[in-house]
Structure 1
Amino acid sequence: MKTVAQVLKLKAAQNHAVHSVTPGHMVLDAIKLMAEKNVGALLVMEADRLLGIVSERDYARKMVLKGRSSVGTPVSAIMTAPVRTVSPAQTIEACMAIMTDSHLRHLPVVDEDGTLLGLLSIGDLVKEAIAEQAALIKQLEAYIRGD
């Protein structure tokens, strides 16, 4: 099974940038950025420090359902913190288990120093798991045929 580091390399090759906001950004600006970049979550950063994550789910549950205004509410009021993170050495399988057990759709990847290396979505992990299974099926078919 591939590691997080290997998946991040593939994402880097496809030029998948990590988008972020500061805790002081207004929620409306964060939602506009998500729409513009076609992403479901933004990391909340201050300098190089990961403080939290804000997602469409946070917006729906903490803004819309509570009747709050997106214009005057800072991201810090609705972000999820602390953030569950993974290391580059973890496997796709371990990340999928974390996401399933914790009901997460995004996992920031940080090294042992706490430096942000990237962001994985459940879609990234499912795509890799399917690719690995397809490769395994081809190998097994070749084995059965005696190739």
Structure 2
Amino acid sequence: MDILLKDIMIRNVVTISPDKTAQDAARLMAEHGIGSVVVMDSDKVIGIITERDLVRKVCAKDIPSSKVKIQDVMSAPIITAEPDLPIEAAVQRMFNNKIRRLPVVENGKLVGIVTISDIAKHMRTKWLIEKIFE
């Protein structure tokens, strides 16, 4: 039986609007202990801003984060997945697109997010359970 993204995804996704600043995104990441924030325009997923985006596009260029709009530094277009996608296919999609975070969208609505760390934790747990019950 395939494990699907809906089985392991994080359902409470932290989001931000494109007109907010890089500083706002950094604060959200710090408050929630996360490495990315999904960018939403109304109810539509339009991008993602990651710690890497902040470092490369703001900090490394010595631009004040309070002066940079999310829409100018977010990663877009965004790669997404459906909740019923098997995790093996999700890993392949992430590998092919060189991404570490995969927002999960159903009928155009953001319903979750899966990171490579979430998948690794799941696979490690699955492996341990299999070893215990051998």
- TM-score, length of structure 1 as denominator length: 0.83
What residue identity is the alignment partner of 2:67? G
Counting aligned pairs with the same residue, the percent is: 32
Q: Which has the higher contact order (CA 8 A, sep 6+)?
A: 2
2:39 aligned with 1:38: no
2:14 aligned with 1:3: no
Alpha-carbon offset, residue 105 of structure 1: 1.6
Unaligned runs of 5+ in 1: 142-147
2:53 aligned with 1:52: no
Please list the CA deviations of residues 53-77 of structure 1 after superposition, one character each: whole Å capped at 9, or x if unmatched.
0000001111122222211110001
2:102 aligned with 1:107: yes
Please give the residue correspondences for 1:1-147 in structure 2 after superposition, counting only pairs within 5 Å.
Answer: 1-8=2-9, 11-12=10-11, 17-111=12-106, 113-139=107-133, 141=134
For the aligned residue pairs, the C-alpha RMSD in angstroms reads: 1.4
**1:145 — aligned with what?**
none
Which structure would you say has the larger Rg?
1
Regions of 4+ moved over 6 Å: none
Distance 1:57 1:100 in 2: 17
SS at match of 1:104: coil
- Name the count of aligned residue pairs: 133
Distance 2:36 2:17 in 1: 13
Unaligned runs of 5+ in 2: none
Native 8 Å contact 1:44 1:51 kept in 2: yes
